[in-house]
């Protein structure tokens, strides 16, 4: 409960809502304009559901509430999302102040890095909250995540539940959309992590420079001071640019080929295991993880540097890395008895596809098999990356199967045609099947013992978004069914 000063006098509210359908009696309703909708259209519905007060970023809506609902406290604010964050914090008792928050941003690696960091912290006896693309964890309880970074009110509610359960640490992914839209307003970040930046989300940001600027907001502070420590991948060109703008005393750099404070040497890997010697400001430690591939060496370095910034010893960090479980939809191997390795991965950019195929090539050397890559491109998203993804798949694979991946409002074959143009720039054979379930069957049935089949793009997702419908769909379950059918 909190007392808010509004026109008409102070009012005590017991909750905050920004969705009129979730309003209960006693709530403050924050009506704000967004990119695709305007919450001010739903003020009447919120009042009907029992809202005691309204905050709005529209003078017209404010005057209307004052005139038509004099019994409702009203406040006019300049920034709706900032008001949502500040009001939610006040009503919920400022839970963000009771947690040490580590936040990861970047194109690829955010999810795995966040999972690894949480596992390291938990293995050292710390109770954590995790908010990310795949799952939300509250003191060990696992929930589905509807968004990579929710609205501030929902983040703060999760934080409050974590504090009640005894959590002292929080780890979250911060997407570029959330940073630019200020969904993370007022969250004090202890450790900020930058993984990398490659082309993605240009349908929203327009240019790579705008995309980069959105990511860098984490390190400037969004309604809060900058992070106490910045953990930055200096092997990445954009990471190197970011590092040049941050005081060295507030930064830990990491990399494999660069000269960061956290570096990997003597990297050895095989299917289901990666080992390397990690060099740090306080000595070296041997690292072992069940995660595979050079991309996960970077993720392990990022999580390790963040864990060290949170006061963990190198021994605790190494133990936490060794205990880490498989991250859903990130190089997730589907059990098979016929000698074919089937992998489900979230790779949905050309850079991520190259990394995935490169890892498959490294593992395939032992079996002398082929790499078969299935992928699609999302509809209503950046069209310029489609031929790039096609070229990346064709350049690294022995066979490409081109299919659908959440076509949304677009025609699947129109999307496929744009990706196919990139595959055709290579000499790799490409089979086209817009039905993703049938395409998975084609890819797996085309494989021989020793081959690796990569099912890229959807990873942990459990639905397929089509024009006018969202249907259940799980790459892992479909692949398992095909493998069982063919024995």
The domains of the chain, with CATH numbers, are 2-91 (3.40.1390.10), 95-323 (3.40.1190.10), 332-486 (3.90.190.20)
Half-sphere exposure for 487 (CA within 13 Å, toward CB): 0
| 284 contact partners, CB below 8 Å, separation of at least 6 | 265, 277, 278
Tens-binned pLDDT, residue by residue, of the chain (487 aa):
555 556 666 788 999 999 999 999 999 999 999 867 899 999 999 999 999 999 999 999 999 999 999 889 999 999 999 999 999 999 999 999 999 999 999 999 999 999 999 999 999 999 999 999 889 999 989 998 877 789 999 999 999 999 999 999 999 999 999 999 999 999 999 999 999 998 877 777 789 999 999 999 999 999 999 999 999 999 999 999 999 999 988 999 999 987 799 999 999 988 778 999 999 999 999 999 999 888 999 999 999 999 999 999 999 999 999 997 678 888 888 989 889 999 999 999 998 899 899 989 988 776 689 999 999 999 999 999 999 999 999 999 999 999 999 999 999 999 999 999 999 999 999 999 999 999 999 999 999 999 999 999 999 899 999 998 999 999 999 999 999 999 8
Residue 191 has what pLDDT?
98
Residue 215 has what pLDDT?
96
pTM of the model: 0.85
Residue 3 has what pLDDT?
59
Residue 165 has what pLDDT?
97
Angstrom distance (rounded) from CA 122 to CA 202: 36
Residue 2 has what pLDDT?
57
Residue 95 has what pLDDT?
98
């Amino acid at each position: 409960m909190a007392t808010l000063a509004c026109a008409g006098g102070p009012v005590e509210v017991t909750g905050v809502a920004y969705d009129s359908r979730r309003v209960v009696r006693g709530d403050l309703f924050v009506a704000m304009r967004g990119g695709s909708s305007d919450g001010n259209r739903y003020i009447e519905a919120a009042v009907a559901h029992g809202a005691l007060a309204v905050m709005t970023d529209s003078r017209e809506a404010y005057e209307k509430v004052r005139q038509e609902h004099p019994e409702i406290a009203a406040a006019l604010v300049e920034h709706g999302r900032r008001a949502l964050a500040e009001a939610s914090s006040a009503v919920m008792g400022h839970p963000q102040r009771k947690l040490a928050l580590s936040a990861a941003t970047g194109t690829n690696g955010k999810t795995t890095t966040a999972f690894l960091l949480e596992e390291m912290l938990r293995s050292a006896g710390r109770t954590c909250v995790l908010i990310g693309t795949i799952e939300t964890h509250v003191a060990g309880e696992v929930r589905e995540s509807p968004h990579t970074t929710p609205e501030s009110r929902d983040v703060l509610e999760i934080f409050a539940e974590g504090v009640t359960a005894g959590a002292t640490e929080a780890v979250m992914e911060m997407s570029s959309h959330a940073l630019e839209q200020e969904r993370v307003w007022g969250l004090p970040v202890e450790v900020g992590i930058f993984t990398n930046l490659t082309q993605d989300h240009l349908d929203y940001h327009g240019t790579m420079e705008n995309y980069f600027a959105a990511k860098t907001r984490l390190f400037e502070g969004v309604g809060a001071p900058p992070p106490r420590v910045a953990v930055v991948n200096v092997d990445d060109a954009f990471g190197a640019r970011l590092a040049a703008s941050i005081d060295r005393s507030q930064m830990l750099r990491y990399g494999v080929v660069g000269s960061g404070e956290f570096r990997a040497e003597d990297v050895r890997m095989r299917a289901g295991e990666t080992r390397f010697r990690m060099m740090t400001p306080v000595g070296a430690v041997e690292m072992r993880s069940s995660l595979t591939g050079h991309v996960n060496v970077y993720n392990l370095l990022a999580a390790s540097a963040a864990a060290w910034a949170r006061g963990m010893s190198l021994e605790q960090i190494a133990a936490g890395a060794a205990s880490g479980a498989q991250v859903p939809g990130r190089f997730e191997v589907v059990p098979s008895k016929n000698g074919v390795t089937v992998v489900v991965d979230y790779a949905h950019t050309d850079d991520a596809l190259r990394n995935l195929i490169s890892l498959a090539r490294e593992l395939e050397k032992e079996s002398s098999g082929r790499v078969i890559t299935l992928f699609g491109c999302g509809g209503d998203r950046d069209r310029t990356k489609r031929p790039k993804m096609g070229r990346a798949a064709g350049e690294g694979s022995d066979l490409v199967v081109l299919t659908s991946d959440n076509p949304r409002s677009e025609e699947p074959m129109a999307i496929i045609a744009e990706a196919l143009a990139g595959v055709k720039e290579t000499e790799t054979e490409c089979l086209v099947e817009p039905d993703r379930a049938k395409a998975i069957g084609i890819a797996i049935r085309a494989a021989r013992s020793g081959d690796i089949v990569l099912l890229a793009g959807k990873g942990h997702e459990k639905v397929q978004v089509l024009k006018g419908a969202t249907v259940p769909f799980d790459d892992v379950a479909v692949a398992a069914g095909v493998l069982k059918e063919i024995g």
